[in-house]
Chain A
């Protein structure tokens, strides 16, 4: 059962399922984003990656790359957390789009921009979780999102520590989308062990 779960020994079928969940979830998230920004958003097929802790910073352009991370706790039939990360420049771009005006010139987010970013994160993670819930039939209740703008390594330490409780890898879904510029976003879903089982059984895979 759950104590036997080893992310590294995961069957390719399971990876495919996660990929598909990630794909549909991210697709819904991007549709919601496009509606909010009232623009067309093109999305590429997401990449699902199982990474060593030492590799996670490199995926995002280095541990010191400044990212905006939105983090929510998840409760209901499954428990855990979800994080959505965007590179700071992309975050700034989305905020400008949403607010319809240029961002603060000093390169830091104003209070208003931070709440806009929080709202973007809320919509993206919310629609992601909604589609996960619709596909699995599981009740998923997200918490209020928390935001951090800091080095990738520091933000990622939070989900990494949660993964660290069960193993030495982190499971990440990388999405790329673009409106008039390319934006890379990363989803990290951290269900606890029992929730992995629940997700799989709800899809008839266990």
Chain B
């Protein structure tokens, strides 16, 4: 029997086929799914903020796109995946409200997406698909077996990227 592993906000976990991994209600946060298509080992990170280097209290690595992705990749590799084969899909980074108040928080969703892409590029992990931006929340489920990244949103059809 396969299980669905749950990842919370500012959290990350790894997952092996046939299990799936999910995070519920992504808003401005980004869900980064990474897998090795041969060993079918993968994982999911739910990051909240783009950059750990500009925050004093940054010990919580899964909270940030830069340190979160690095930590997720390390865990996946440690579990037996090959670093050079890793591929990624990303979702989330919405702007939930028409405005957000502080200047550095304006477009935080967009900045989370940019930071995630930048980190993945730095680690030479190709992004195969994305479903990001706009103004609604997303629940995501990732299956390292197939690489399917399923996205659900309120009042919208489920899609697989």
A residues in contact (CB < 8 Å) with B: 3, 53-54, 56-57, 62-64, 66, 69, 71, 73-75, 79-81, 108, 143, 146-158, 160-162, 164-168, 192
B29 touches which of A69, A150, A157 (Cβ 8 Å): A157
| CB-based contact B101/A73 at 8 Å | yes
Residue-wise, chain B 122-161 has the 8 Å CB interface mask toward A (1 for contact) of: 0000000000000111110000000000000011000000
Question: Closest CB-CB distance, A118 to chain B, in whole Å?
Answer: 11
What 19 additional pairs, Cβ within 8 angstroms, besides A54-B9, A73-B101, A161-B29?
Answer: A53-B9, A53-B10, A53-B48, A53-B63, A69-B96, A79-B102, A146-B97, A146-B98, A151-B154, A153-B25, A153-B139, A154-B136, A156-B27, A157-B48, A161-B105, A161-B108, A164-B63, A165-B49, A192-B102
Residue of B100, B137, B139 near A155 (CB, 8 A) is B137
Given the known inter-chain contacts A54-B8, A150-B137, A155-B137, please indicate yes or no for A161 contacting B48, CB distance below 8 A: yes
Bitwise interface map of B from 24 to 58 toward A, beta carbon under 8 Å scored 1, else 0 = 11111100000000000000000011000001110
Cβ–Cβ < 8 Å partners of B154 in chain A: 66, 149-151
Q: A56 to B154: give the CA distance in the assembly, Å.
A: 19
Contact residues in B for A79 (Cβ distance below 8 Å) = 101-102
Cross-chain pairs A/B with CB under 8 angstroms, 6 sampled: A56-B9, A151-B25, A153-B9, A157-B27, A161-B48, A164-B63
CB-based closest 3 A-B pairs: A153-B25, A154-B137, A157-B27
- Grouping DSSP codes into helix (H, G, I), strand (E, B) and loop, the A interface class, with mixed when no group exceeds half, is mixed
Report the minimum CB–CB distance from B108 to chain A (whole Å): 6
In the assembled complex, the CB of A205 is this many whole angstroms from the nearest CB of chain B, namely: 23
Considering only CB atoms, which chain A residue lies closest to B152 in the complex?
A: A64
Nearest CB of B to A88, in Å: 10
User: In this assembly, does B110 line the interface, its C-beta being within 8 Å of a C-beta of chain A?
Assistant: no
Question: Cβ of A168 and Cβ of B136 under 8 Å apart?
Answer: no
Q: Is there contact, CB below 8 Å, between A71 and B25?
A: no
Query: A146's closest neighbor in chain B, by CB?
Result: B97
Please name all residues of chain B whose beta carbon is closer than 8 Å to the beta carbon of A75 when the two chains form the complex: 101
The chain A residue sitting closest to B155, CB to CB, is A108
**Pair B101/A161 contact, Cβ less than 8 Å:** no
The distance in angstroms between the C-alpha atoms of A147 and B96, with both chains bound, is 9
Q: B66 at the A/B interface (Cβ < 8 Å)?
A: no
B147 to chain A, nearest CB (A): 24
When the two chains form their complex, are residues A57 and B98 in contact, meaning their CB atoms are under 8 A apart? no
